[in-house]
Chains A and B, each alone.
With several copies, the nearest count.
Chain A
Amino acid sequence: MPGLEDLYREIILDHYRNPRNRGELPTPPAHRFEGFNPLCGDEILVYVDLEDGVVSDVRIGGQGCSISQSSASMMSAAVKGKTVAEVRDLTTAFKGMMSIHETQLEGTDEEGEPPPDSGSDIALGDLEALRGVVKFPVRIKCATLSWNTLAQGLDELAADEST
C-alpha cells in the first residue's frame, strides 16, 4: 500500500505552498485556456503569451487540490521559454509517466524507476516528483489537468491558424 509520502513529495508541497507563475495575462495578446475536472470540480486557467512559436510567458489561475495546483505550477516553470513543439514533447513525456502501469499498480517496489515504456529521453526534472501519483489512480486526473488544458488549447490554436 503506497503511503502519503509517495504522493505528496516535498517538492510538490513546495509548489503548492509557493505556486510559480500564479496570476493572469492580458488577453489578447495572451491566450487563455480553460480546463476542468468533472469528477471533483477543479478548474484551471492557463494563460500563455506566444512569440514566434515560443512560450514567452505563462500564468496559472483557477482552483484545485495540491496535486493539480503543484502540477500546474511545475508545468508553468517547465514550459516557459520552450517552443510549442518542445512543449508538446514534454506533455507527451509527462503523460507517459502518468499513464497507469499494471506492475506499478500491483504495488511492487519500483517507485524510483521510470516505467519501461516511458521511453522518451526528455528530462522531466522536478516533474519526476509527480511520478508517485500513478499509485493513486483517482489523482492522475488532477496531475494531468493543467497539461491537458494547455495541450488542447495549443491544438485548437493550431487548428484555428491552419484554417
Chain B
Amino acid sequence: MAMTRDRALDTTRLRQDFPILGREVNGHRLVYLDSAGSAQKPRQVLDAMDDFYRRSYANVHRGAYTLANEASEALESAREKVAHFIGAGSPNEVIFTKNATEAMNLVVNSWGRANLRDGDVVVLTVLEHHANIVPWQILADQIEIELRWVPLDHQGHLDLTALDELVDGAKVVSFSAMSNVLGTLTPVRRIADAARAAGAMVMVDACQFVPHNPTDVAELGADFIAFSAHKMCGPTGIGALWGREAMLDAMPPFLGGGSMISDVRLDGFTPAPLPHKFEAGTPPIAEAVGFGAAVDYLSALGMDSVRRHEVELTSYALRTLTERFGDQIAISGPSEPAERGGVFSLAYRDLHPHDISQVLDERAVCIRAGHHCAKPLMRYMGVGATARASVYVYNDESDIDALSEGLEAAGEFFAF
C-alpha cells in the first residue's frame, strides 16, 4: 500500500515507536493483530517507567523525603492524566486497580453488597466478557439476584427492541461499550438513559472502547466505567475504575489495608477519602507512570485520529477479505465500519481457529484463536471458538494483506 498524505495516522513513522514491531518471527516481520487481547507498548511508555525506577522510585503517600514526594507526585499526576483523558470531573473519580476485571469486581462487591437485595434484577448482555458476568454470578451465590440478558440481532448489534421491559424494575444495567469478539459498538448513551430512567445503576465495560475512541464520561452517561492500561499502550498490572464521585463516596470500601484508611483502632477503622479509600496497599506506582505516558502518547496522536484510522482499516479489511474470499469467509459483527471497531472474528471455510492461527503464526501473523473470555457469546453464536484479528494504531493495510495471504495459505494447507 502506498502512503497517502491524508491518512488519519502516519503508521510508518509511528511503528518506529514500538520496539517489538522490529522483531522477526520465523523469518518474517511481526504482524501483530491481537491488540484486543493486549496492545504493544511504545518506547515512550517503557522509558517513562524505566526512568522512574532509575531516578525517582519510592513508596508513595507516606514519606516526607524527596524521592517519596516525587513518586507521589508521579502517581497523582498520572491519575490526573487518566482523568483528563476520559473527561472525568475530578481525579478523585479515578481509582487505580490491577486491571479492568478488578475494577468491575470492586463495583459488584462494594456497590452491589451495599445496594442489592434478594430478588433484585441485574441486566447484562449476551456479548459480555467474563469480567462482566462472573462477578455477578459470584455475588448471586450470596444475594439472590436475577440476571437478565439483552439478546443480539443477526448482525451482532444488541437487540434493544425490548429494552424498556428489560430494564423495568432493574437495579443494575451493566454492559460493554464495544464487544471484544464482534467489534460491535453499543449505543451506550441510549441504554444508560433508559436504565437511569428506570432507576438502575449503570456500569460500562469500556475495555475495548477507551483505547480506540474519544471518551467523555459525561457523554456516556454511565455511573461507572472500567478499563485496562495494557489495551491502550500502557503496562500490565494497572487498570482504572471511573465512578461518579457521589456514588464512590457513598460506597463501603472493598479491599482493606494501608493507604485506604484515615484511622485504624483495635475496634474498627475510618476509611480515607477518595480516591484512596479504594486503593488498599502499595499501588501500582511505576505502572501508573506508564499509564500516564500511554495516555500522553494516545493524546498526542489524537483520539479522533485513532478512531478514524481504525475505521479506515476496518473498511479496508472488510472489503479486501470479502473480495478475496467471497462466501468462504464470514466476518462476525456489524458490516458498517461506523458501527464497529477493528476487531474481526473470522470463520474461514471449515478450518478450526487453532489451525488458522497456527498457519498464520508460521508467517509471524499474530491472531487470537479461542473463546475470547466470552463463552456465553460463543454458545449464542453456536461456535466453540473464533479466529480473531484486531488492529490498533500501529497496524496498516499491509498487516491486513498479510492476514489475507495467511488465510489463503491456511486454506491451501488444509484443502481436501
Q: Which A residues fall within an 8 A CB radius of B?
A: 1, 3-4, 7-8, 13, 16-17, 36, 38-43, 63-67, 69, 136-139, 142
Contact = CB atoms under 8 A, between A and B. Distances in A.
A42 B369 CA distance: 11
Q: How large is the interface on B (under 10, 10 to 19, 20 to 34, 35 or more residues)?
A: 20 to 34
B370 A40 contact: yes
Contacts of B64: 40, 136, 138-139
B413 interface: yes
A36 B265 CA distance: 14
Contact of A139 (B62, B72, B272, B358): B358
A18 to B, nearest CB: 9
A67 B354 CA distance: 9
A40 B416 contact: no
A70 to B, nearest CB: 11
Nearest to B375: A41
Interface in B67-126: 68-69, 72-73
A8 B73 CA distance: 23
A38 B358 contact: no
Which 5 pairs, one residue from A and one from B, show the smallest C-beta to C-beta distance?
A65-B354, A65-B352, A41-B384, A41-B371, A38-B262
A36 B375 CA distance: 12
B353 A65 contact: yes
A41 B370 contact: yes
A134 B362 CA distance: 16
A36 B263 contact: yes
A112 to B, nearest CB: 21
Interface string B334-369: 000000000000000000111100110010000001
Contact of A13 (B61, B63, B263, B414): B414
B263 to A, nearest CB: 6
A41 B385 contact: yes
Interface of B: 26, 61-64, 68-69, 72-73, 261-263, 272, 352-355, 358-359, 362, 369-371, 375, 378, 383-385, 413-414, 416
Contacts, number: 68
A62 to B, nearest CB: 9
Given A39-B61, A40-B371, A66-B355, A17 B384 contact: no
A42 B358 contact: no
Contact of B362 (A4, A36, A142): A4
A3 B261 CA distance: 32
A12 B64 CA distance: 19
A136 B61 CA distance: 13
B385 A42 contact: yes
Interface of chain B, helix or strand or loop or mixed? mixed
A69 B69 CA distance: 22
15 contacts: A1-B26, A4-B362, A39-B61, A40-B384, A41-B375, A41-B384, A42-B354, A43-B384, A63-B352, A66-B354, A136-B358, A137-B69, A137-B73, A138-B68, A139-B358
Contact of B62 (A17, A39, A42, A64): A39
A142 B385 CA distance: 13
A142 B370 CA distance: 12
A39 B352 contact: no
Most chain B CB within 10 A, of A63, A69, A138, A142, is at A138
A139 B354 contact: yes
Nearest to A3: B362
Contacts of B352: 63-66, 69
Given A1-B26, A4-B362, A139-B64, A40 B353 contact: yes
B77 to A, nearest CB: 11
A17 B416 contact: yes
Given A4-B413, A139-B358, A39 B26 contact: no
Most chain B CB within 10 A, of A17, A38, A64, is at A38
B273 to A, nearest CB: 9
Given A4-B358, A139-B64, A38 B413 contact: no
A40 B385 contact: yes
Contacts of B370: 39-41
Contacts of B384: 40-43, 63-64
Given A63-B384, A65-B355, A38 B378 contact: no
Nearest to B416: A17
A8 B263 contact: no
A38 B353 contact: no
Contacts of A17: 416
A65 B385 CA distance: 10
B335 to A, nearest CB: 25
A4 B359 contact: yes
Contacts of B378: 41
